[in-house]
Amino acid sequence: MTETFRLTLAQLNPTVGAIDANAEQVRDAHAEAKAAGADMIVFPELFLIGYQPQDLVMKPVLVNTAMAKAEELAALTVDGPAIGLGAPYFYGDALYNGYWILAEGRVKQVLRKHHLPNYKVFDEKRLFASGPIEGPYAIGPLRIGSPICEDAWYEDVAEAQVESGAEILIVPNGSPYYRNKFNTRLTHMVSRVVENDVPLVYLNMVGGQDDQVFDGGSFVLNRHGKPAHILPAFAEELRHVDFVKEDGKWVAEAGEITHQPDEWEQDYRAMVESLRDYLGKTGFKKVVLGLSGGIDSAIVATIATDALGAENVHCVMLPSEYTSQGSLDDAKDIANRLGCRYDFVPISQGRDAITDTLAPIFGDLPFDTTEENIQSRLRGLLLMALSNKFGSMLLTTGNKSEVAVGYCTIYGDMNGGYNPIKDLYKTRVFEQCRWRNANHRDWMKGPEGEVIPVTIIDKPPSAELRPDQRDDDSLPPYEVLDAILEGLVDREESVADLVEAGFDRATVKRVEHLLYISEYKRFQSAPGTRLTPRAFWLDRRYPIASRWRDPS
């Protein structure tokens, strides 16, 4: 008789700290797995408390509550499938990132994560103790090894588990998105499969948590690294995977291989999902934003509409005498195309009042960036008033290029609770708009078609804070600026490296200077979707007060 084993993968979306709600997801998914005849259901890393918990996991009451809940969930397995569940584990005098194996109505084993990531957005070494390399566990006819996330990026844990008798590897993950990461994961997991000659299950969670987005894309590999299943990116799914024993070895039967979207679709989906979850998990239902007629606010309005629906997006045009007729027309046009509420709130009277108030002190000093920033801060004040009055979260709309060099006004256009394009360089903003105009997916709540007017995409960028102002009056052209920033920020290159690559040294030094003196602004800025391994916040932690400048 052929031996078989049905495994259910729970690619789901937990909420940090919502232990009861996350446990309810476990119960519901377990019931579905039981109805499907599964032998075991597995959940991602730290699923019971959500990931990443950061310092929240240092609270003993949270850990104790989670451990008690995990023990309670073990009762589900008396007459149903076993459960693999990520949850913290306090043992002896140390806290571990644990993976709980619940079977036969009890806690059968708790695996402890061995390799603790301490780079990019991760700092698990300050939160958890490193556990020993754990052996496999038996569920029915199958012996299973479970390297926990980072453990599978190294050879030793998987090798030790297979040498101890593991016949397949199940890897629970909390792996956040960055552009083109799926292929990186796949390459590492293929290495574990080839080295150990066993099938491997890579299970990732989905959903947004602050700046990070977990993009799913779970997969099952057979020997030689051949995919048997690939789950969708960003979407929740329960996938039943059947293993059969052939010639003494377990093999995953072939299932659906879901196409993974290209980087433009994945970036856009990440921004939509992160905004949707950020609002949902913080208790907001609606957003408000300033709609300037420019490309950055246009794409943020579109992302918000796709995330929340047009009925939950409030767009406000706040013109001054420097606002062009083209911008007025474009702002109203995109609001109409998206179907959002649109309000027109001129700032002239408020600015005149502020100018008159400051006149005795300013005297006859010339107009400069002070007056430009007053306009921006007045807009920020009005938008925050609308946010407060109507309970809508204010979205900020600065792209990564502007955030990098401080081409944004603190307490002005930087006001807001979230910024979905914070990690999107300006040159990519243009291309992302073109992508959205040409593509529509069923996960988008906004309308299909050309929702962003081409006039917005094609016109020269301008803050419109003085007559005939253009961004390239103050900054290098964005294709030059972004290329320099990619070198300085994303690749940590030196000035000499960039000069050797063909950039003007004076321009590079100016950009470097602007980057460093703007650190204080970024420190106070709203969180935003992480799209790259060098996003501003946890990926790149620079001092605010620093006199370092590259001497090369």
Between CA 396 and CA 521 the distance in angstroms is 13
Is residue 402 a known part of a binding site?
A: yes
Q: How many helices (H) and strands (E) does the chain have?
A: 17, 19
Structure tokens at 357: 């108030």
Is residue 175 a known part of a binding site?
A: yes
Between CA 222 and CA 217 the distance in angstroms is 16
Is residue 207 a known part of a binding site?
A: no
Question: Strand, coil or helix: what is 168?
Answer: strand
Is residue 119 a known part of a binding site?
A: yes
| CA-atom Rg of the chain in angstroms | 26
Between CA 203 and CA 149 the distance in angstroms is 9
Is residue 521 a known part of a binding site?
A: yes
Question: Strand, coil or helix: what is 231?
Answer: coil
Is residue 372 a known part of a binding site?
A: no
Is residue 230 a known part of a binding site?
A: no
Which DSSP letter does residue 54 get? G
Is residue 297 a known part of a binding site?
A: yes
Is residue 239 within 8 Å of 11, Cβ to Cβ?
yes
149 has catalytic annotation: yes
Is residue 370 within 8 Å of 503, Cβ to Cβ?
no
Helices assigned H by DSSP within 239-290? 263-282
Contacts with 381 (C-beta within 8 Å, 6 or more apart), sequence order:
none
Between CA 251 and CA 5 the distance in angstroms is 10
Between CA 49 and CA 65 the distance in angstroms is 10
Strand 82-91 relative to strand 287-290: parallel, antiparallel, unpaired? unpaired
Torsion angle, alpha carbons of 40, 42, 48, 54, to 10: 150
Active-site residue, from 69, 113, 286, 426: 113
Between CA 440 and CA 234 the distance in angstroms is 16
Q: Which of these, 261, 264, 268, lies nearest to 213 by C-alpha position?
A: 268
Is residue 294 a known part of a binding site?
A: yes
| H/E element, 189 | helix 181-196
Question: Strand, coil or helix: what is 462?
Answer: coil
Residue type, 9: L
Question: Strand, coil or helix: what is 387?
Answer: helix
Q: Where are the beta strands (DSSP E) in 465-529?
A: none
Is residue 164 a known part of a binding site?
A: no
459 has catalytic annotation: no
- Find tokens 């571990």 and name the residue: 96
- Find tokens 């400048």 and name the residue: 549
Is residue 437 a known part of a binding site?
A: no
Is residue 9 within 8 Å of 206, Cβ to Cβ?
no
Strand 237-246 relative to strand 4-11: parallel, antiparallel, unpaired? antiparallel
Is residue 203 within 8 Å of 237, Cβ to Cβ?
no
Is residue 135 a known part of a binding site?
A: no
Q: Across the strands, what pairs with 216?
A: 233
Q: Across the strands, what pairs with 111?
A: 99
426 has catalytic annotation: no
Active-site residue, from 69, 124, 134, 149: 149
Is residue 293 a known part of a binding site?
A: yes
Between CA 231 and CA 239 the distance in angstroms is 8
Q: Which residues are annotated as a binding site for ATP?
A: 290-297, 397
Q: Which residues are annotated as a binding site?
A: 119, 175, 181, 290-297, 373, 397, 402, 521
Q: Which residues are annotated as a binding site for L-glutamine?
A: 119, 175, 181
**Residues catalogued as catalytic:** 45, 113, 149
Q: Which residues are annotated as a binding site for deamido-NAD(+)?
A: 373, 402, 521
